[in-house]
Structure 1
């Protein structure tokens, strides 16, 4: 099998799911098969670079402004396979943020025609992409992200005791997407003697969220979460109330740590849950509060164990899926 040269074009290296996901290409089993290089790209430029590589991955969302760059990338690299990893767009995102779905979907269809393959990060996202673009099954693949175990599988399982408040945890960027404003409003409806919230993260909405939580003694801000295992070790249940979420790396991390999860019924998160937690309507503070209020009656310890069990084969399965992708795009030998 030929050792493949791969270039990954990214326009955003901020901390988050995309940046975490790039670490998968350094996995020993993949590094033995490919030479991988991550390069910055500005899709607003009309002229794409010529790249001496077998496969070009794009990790930025298509847009009308980016179409000339993508067309140029195709024309200037005719021998390379062009694969797009869609990290951002989802059905819930489209419903919340797109004023003209017909125009948006036209752009997506035009962009997808330029790629040899499109990769969705969840089955929920893939179903929406197929409906939005008409992509055939053989051109649209699903690969769940993998950013390493981070020793989360070594975090001690929680000891849930009815005589103390149930410790809910949530973390991520402080932005509209994550739904932490709804979570804080939901906490205002819960008894501080029965529930507390550890909220980790940072971002543009930091001041607004702190102001919203003023007067709520059971909501505690812990700042940027640099040590994910340590943060999760302090929580009993992880709540992910995102308004849209292509995959939801937090869900996978919580399961690895043996924590039950409560996730919003959007995009790629429900398919991750299984017996590991609860899928809930998180669109309003009232529905989210009701779901959280019912948590003490759930078999939370068993859910945490089930989540960790689900993740036991995740690394092997996801690396095998990447290996299969690279095998599909091996150069055809000349006759």
Structure 2
């Protein structure tokens, strides 16, 4: 099944490098990461295939970019259906004959490594470790699988040093690369708050001067919106005019709505969160675990200050010196409330933090850096890769971003 690197032609005519991305998540941060990589790799001249469930936005986005999309029917959790998922993915690999397989998140990492078993160079990118999400027997199974499955990963790509350290401390032995998440700083950018708010229907009737806190993320236990609502009681008391908007949908939506006070608004799922970042005075993400969340990076690219919990990747997301004000312990509503209220009551500090964040993200977390670093991993594994024409990126500039 493995193809010789000599068949590759990075710049001239002839066979082109082939990459197969496998992803079970089709919405949210993982889907955005895959979409950004597909865009960069197609621009660089590679043949790109995406195997993912047909529902959701990833398949559509990849098709619009010009990628070959294979519908892979996969559920979020392992179960008796896993064998069929592995068989169907094995068939995709036979048909595509990729030079490298890039599996994103726990379920795709499980199925892809079982399907390929090291016969094709395989990159596994956990996007936060699955064993952190569950406890008991399920958590133990997830941990033991990651320890075993590492043998079938040519490279494990973590989005933060903290995520890598978590894996190593948990007994996962692999060949590591750390490539921080990046975002499109041309799409996420500052805009006048008043103008943006005027264009958001949900804010009709909300005082234009009201301090606005925004939380963008799937409504689920991982993202910690329940902790934010508990903290909001104290914020509501200290800053009565403030409003909180939860942007996103998910399994916890109904439960969150049932306990939310009138000062909390629900925007539901949106195709583009940029206006919400631009409309916010402060963006909050109270996650219980992450690898490196995209939402804080997107918010800072829009010039907005953030408050985030001290989980994997959080410290590496923030500009140096912002930790004491913008980083709080996970599952500590009292600390979260204090940090949010303090910033809402200090507009000059918010403005300063927002400017710092924008400068930091544009120089450190541009998606083109991420794509170039991933390309270097592929080049290391398969011997050659397109040179990145028309991307505006010098790949050699970013090789220091990879830590093996």
Q: TM-score, normalised on structure 2?
A: 0.70
Question: In the TM superposition, what are the counterparts of 1:260-299 in structure 2 within 5 Å?
Answer: 260-274=305-319, 275=321, 278-295=326-343, 296-297=345-346, 299=349
CA contact (8 A) 1:280 1:291 kept: yes
Question: In the TM superposition, what are the counterparts of 1:109-128 in structure 2 within 5 Å?
Answer: 109-128=147-166
Q: 2:36 aligns with which of 9, 18, 24?
A: 24
Secondary structure at the residue paired with 1:189? helix
**Counterpart in the other structure of 1:323:** 375
Shift of 1:180: 0.8
Deviations 1:145-192 (A, max 9, x none): 335336222434789xxx954321112111111111111111112225
CA contact (8 A) 1:57 1:83 kept: yes
Task: Tell whether 2:122 aligns with 1:82.
Answer: yes
Question: Partners of 2:376 and 2:39 in 1: how far apart?
Answer: 15
Change (3 A) 1:330 1:156: farther
Q: 1:198 aligns with which of 226, 239, 245?
A: 245
Shift of 1:257: 0.4
**Counterpart in the other structure of 2:198:** none
Question: Partners of 1:61 and 1:258 in 2: how far apart?
Answer: 32
Shift of 1:289: 1.3
Secondary structure at the residue paired with 1:299? helix
Deviations 1:64-107 (A, max 9, x none): 9x47x6344126xx2x21111112316xx62x623256654332
Higher helix share: 2
**Counterpart in the other structure of 2:51:** 39
Q: 2:98 aligns with which of 53, 56, 62?
A: 53
Secondary structure at the residue paired with 2:234? coil
> Greater CA deviation, 38-47 or 255-264?
38-47
Question: Partners of 1:16 and 1:257 in 2: how far apart?
Answer: 18
Question: Partners of 1:81 and 1:311 in 2: how far apart?
Answer: 31
Higher strand share: 1
Unmatched segments (≥5 aa) in structure 1:
none
Change (3 A) 1:262 1:288: same
Shift of 1:293: 2.1
Secondary structure at the residue paired with 2:290? coil
- How many residues align structurally? 316
Unmatched segments (≥5 aa) in structure 2:
1-8, 11-15, 53-71, 196-207, 385-404
Q: TM-score, normalised on structure 1?
A: 0.84
Change (3 A) 1:134 1:182: closer
Question: Partners of 1:154 and 1:303 in 2: how far apart?
Answer: 13
